[in-house]
Amino acid sequence: MKQTIRWIAAAMLVAHGAFAADEIQMQLKMSAIKGSIVEQVQPAARSADWNGSGIYAATIALTTNPVALSQGAIVNPGFGFFQNTGTNYTLCLVFDGGTNTPAMQLKAGEYSMLRLATNCIVSNMRAWASRDATNTATTGLYYKLLED
């Protein structure tokens, strides 16, 4: 039986001009279909304030060894967008550099958006490709941070 899960864009749309309230517009729609099971989630569009003005984006190549993420000149990370750019392997993300227990996994091509916790230190975050039988898995991570 074919399994289908479709994620339709979680959008971060930034208004032009001065920074005021509601600069970030978010929309999410998820449809999960498997056999006779159909589940849909589509909360109302949401606006969020963007207190900072910085944006940092990076693409990094990953192997099975954890790699620290950078936050560039971002002092207080707010919203983050993360995407596995690979086609074969799962990407693992951990938010605390002291452990290698993933807090989030993204299969090939998947993406996620979230608000990072206040005082989150992105340089403590680690990402890696999940191990395959030969321990040679590779993938890529594209991520973007908005300063809060």
**In CATH, what number does 51-148 get?**
2.60.120
pLDDT at 6: 43
Q: How many helices (H) and strands (E) does the chain have?
A: 0, 14
* Distances 102 to 56, 114, 125 between C-alpha atoms, Å: 23, 15, 10
Is 126 buried (19+), middle (13-18) or exposed (0-12) by CB count in 10 A? buried
Please check whether residue 79 is in contact with residue 120, taking contact to mean a CB–CB distance below 8 angstroms: no
pLDDT at 2: 42
Amino acid in position 24: I
**How many of the other CB atoms lie within 10 Å of CB of 144?**
16
C-alpha count within 13 angstroms, C-beta hemisphere, residue 101: 1
Mean pLDDT in residue range 91-96 = 85
For 97-142, write each residue's pLDDT tens digit. Answer: 666 778 889 999 999 988 888 777 777 888 888 876 667 778 899 9
Q: Where are the domains of the chain?
A: 1-50, 51-148
| Residue 97 tokens, joined | 């550099």
Which residue shows structure tokens 């909360």? 43
For 13-59, write each residue's pLDDT tens digit. Answer: 343 344 456 677 777 788 889 999 999 988 887 777 777 788 999 99
